Amino acid sequence: MTSAPRVTLTDVARSAGVSVATASRALRARGEMAAETRSRVLRTAAELGYPAIGQVRGRPRRGTSLMFDLVLGHFHDPYTEEITAGARTTASELGYDLVLTAERDEPSDDWPERIRSRGSAGVIVGLIVPTSTQIAAMRRASIPLVLMEPPSEASSPLPSLRTTDDDGGAAAAGHLVERGAQRFVVIGGAPSYRYGRARVEGFVRTISEVAPGAPCVRTSADWSAWDARRACARALSELPGSGPIGVFACSDEMAAGAYRAIADSGRSIPRDVLVVGFDDVRGARWLHPPLTTIRQPIREMASTAVRILARAAAGDLTTEAIVLPTELIVRGSTRPHREIDL
């Protein structure tokens, strides 16, 4: 019985379309090269059964690793869990690992240096705008950045993912009016980030167009349920007139706080007050009644960000701002009055 010929480094290089030296550096995780090239060599070696594949130990001290970093100010809330899930799934599909990196709210934060030292292939920065110094550090290391839902605009052009926040606010307003609301409360976020302002502006503008003269009290909370409960309670006490009330909160978490304020006031949802949130995180459907909300395609945004980085690692750089559509998801918190007793 004749054994199969031994696969050589030359075979791997020829099949991957690179030089022997490049194949060797890719397999030993050494040297500078595009992440796509390193990935292609590793896949080819595995497919051919090259015996050296998988024998490298430790992490590379130079060059580009098959990993992306996801930088967030915090983790483990419903919104960031959706970001992480979307990014991790797509990164795995493309042959990359995902590293979770915490951004610390202090001038000396060294996340760019931590990322540079491990040779990341690219970085998603979520809900944060990096400083000009941090952007410059990533550019010197040739590590591409993608912004996801930036709270403001960056100091220099960077690719970004965001949603139709203004349209989402407008859809919430139109839906509340269509469902019979005659007076309105809108709970914006503080700090007043770019996306929060757009949601409030879309809502208020549409109310003025489709329900001119209708009372509308604007208030704000610190993006938490507890503070939204306080803000909503005060707004309800200030709201003039009579008739069904429509409440729009700029996040689902703040909408949950509004639920408590409405109950505290002796009113019920949706008999007396109709409520719309924003995000469509998992907890929205667990509220009682389930929350009508504006769905952000959170996982899709994170997935698209990873694909942008994969293309950048292959040399296809962009500074495009990609805007994905929001969608109104109707649930029990805006059930029409005529259906309540059915």
Give start-end residues of each CATH 3.40.50.2300 domain in the chain. Answer: 67-163+298-324, 165-297+328-340
Q: What pLDDT is stored for residue 55 in this prediction? A: 47
Pick from 60-74, 121-135, 172-186, 307-321: least confident: 60-74
Looking at domain 165-297+328-340, its CATH architecture is 3-Layer(aba) Sandwich (3.40)
Q: Cβ of 194: how many Cβ atoms within 10 Å?
A: 15
pTM of the full structure: 0.80
Helix spans in 54-159 (H): 78-93, 111-117, 132-140
Burial readout 105-130 (b: 16 or more C-beta within 10 A, e: otherwise): eeeeeebbeebbeebbbbbbbbbbbb
Q: Which CATH superfamily is domain 67-163+298-324 in?
A: Response regulator (3.40.50.2300)
- Summarised one tens digit per residue, pLDDT across range 234-261 is 999 999 999 999 999 999 999 999 999 9
Top-confidence residue, 185 or 3? 185
- Summarised one tens digit per residue, pLDDT across range 266-279 is 999 999 999 999 99
Supply the mean pLDDT for the chain.
89
341 Ramachandran zone, left/alpha/beta (phi>0; psi -120 to 50): alpha
Report the pLDDT averaged over residues 181-192: 97
Residue 60: pLDDT band (50, 70, 90) is very low
**Cα separation of 165 and 192, whole Å?**
13
- Summarised one tens digit per residue, pLDDT across range 8-44 is 888 888 999 998 888 887 776 555 667 677 778 877 8
Q: What pLDDT is stored for residue 39 in this prediction? A: 73
Of 283, 284, 231, nearest in space to 262 by CA: 231
- Summarised one tens digit per residue, pLDDT across range 295-340 is 999 999 999 999 999 999 888 888 899 999 999 999 999 998 555 5
